[in-house]
Each structure stands twice: as structure tokens, then as C-alpha cells.
């Protein structure tokens, strides 16, 4: 049975350590407290002869809320993609696979999620990348 191609983004397959992920989130995430501090500083330092209108503040708040929701949606989609990839990996274990060029055949004993996709470890000690044209039986 031939395996169809998958479009998996390499960066979504990388294994992230909790420390590195948390640090990256702190660097790239602007929460409501930080936003309100910036808004307050903007209000304190505005030109008194030409103050900002309240509608401009509300527009900034709405834009911030939309960006935050987009970030949350992206993180949930990444989690869904990772789950799908792990499900594909689990389905390969115990099956016989043949590489796309028909040079390597063996039974999958484990699957590794690497930066460039899935890598099937075979019972004969060889590794086969999960790619279009691979045969699973």
C-alpha cells in the first residue's frame, strides 16, 4: 500500500524543551498587563494640546485582542499538527516498509519525529525517512 505525501512544516516537528519554549513565549508574548502599562504610558506622555481620542485607544485594544487570538489559534494548530504526526508515527510501528527507491525494506520497530519529518527505524538497523513513494504493508 503506497503512502501518500504529507505537508509537514519542519519547524512544527522540532522537539522543544519546556525551558526553551517558555523562554520563547515570554520573549514574544505581550499580555494584557503589559499592553495596559504601555497604554497608560502613552496616555501620560501624550501631547496635552492634541490628546488621543478614546476611539483610538479602543482600536488599539481591539487590534491587540485580535493579534493575541491569532497567536492562540496558531499554537493550537501546531498542537493538532504534532498530534497528527505522532498518530502517523504510531501507525507505522510493526508494519513492513520499503523506501521510495526500493533499496531498503524492513519492519518498523520505532519511529522518530525529526526536524525534517518522520524517520522509521527498522529491525535490520537501517533508517528510512517517511516520504512520498514509501510502501507500507
The C-alpha cell 520505532 sits at: 110
The model carries a pTM of: 0.47
- What's the confidence (pLDDT) of residue 9? 45
**Contact status, residue 105 vs residue 96, Cβ threshold 8 Å:** yes
- What's the confidence (pLDDT) of residue 102? 87
Query: For the segment 47-69, what is each residue's pLDDT rounded down to a tens digit?
Result: 777 777 778 878 877 887 888 88
Query: For the segment 85-99, what is each residue's pLDDT rounded down to a tens digit?
Result: 788 778 888 989 998
| Distant-in-sequence, close-in-space partners of 34: CB < 8 Å, separation ≥ 6 | none
Contacts 24+ apart (CB under 8 A), 101-106: 101/133, 104/128
Q: Who has greater pLDDT, 21 or 121?
A: 121
Amino acid at each position: 500500500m503506497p503512502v501518500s505525501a504529507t505537508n509537514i512544516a519542519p519547524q512544527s516537528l522540532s522537539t522543544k524543551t519546556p525551558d526553551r519554549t517558555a523562554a520563547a513565549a515570554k520573549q514574544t508574548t505581550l499580555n494584557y498587563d503589559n499592553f495596559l502599562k504601555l497604554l497608560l504610558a502613552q496616555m501620560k506622555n501624550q501631547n496635552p494640546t492634541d490628546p488621543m481620542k478614546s476611539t483610538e485607544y479602543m482600536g488599539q485594544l481591539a487590534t491587540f485582542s485580535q493579534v493575541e487570538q491569532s497567536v492562540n489559534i496558531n499554537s493550537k494548530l501546531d498542537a493538532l499538527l504534532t498530534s497528527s504526526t505522532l498518530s502517523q508515527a504510531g501507525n507505522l510501528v510493526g508494519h513492513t516498509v520499503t523506501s521510495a527507491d526500493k533499496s531498503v525494506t524492513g519492519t518498523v520497530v520505532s519511529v522518530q519525529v525529526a526536524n525534517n519529518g518522520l524517520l522509521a527505524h527498522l529491525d535490520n538497523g537501517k533508517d528510512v525517512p517517511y516520504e512520498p513513494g514509501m510502501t507500507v504493508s
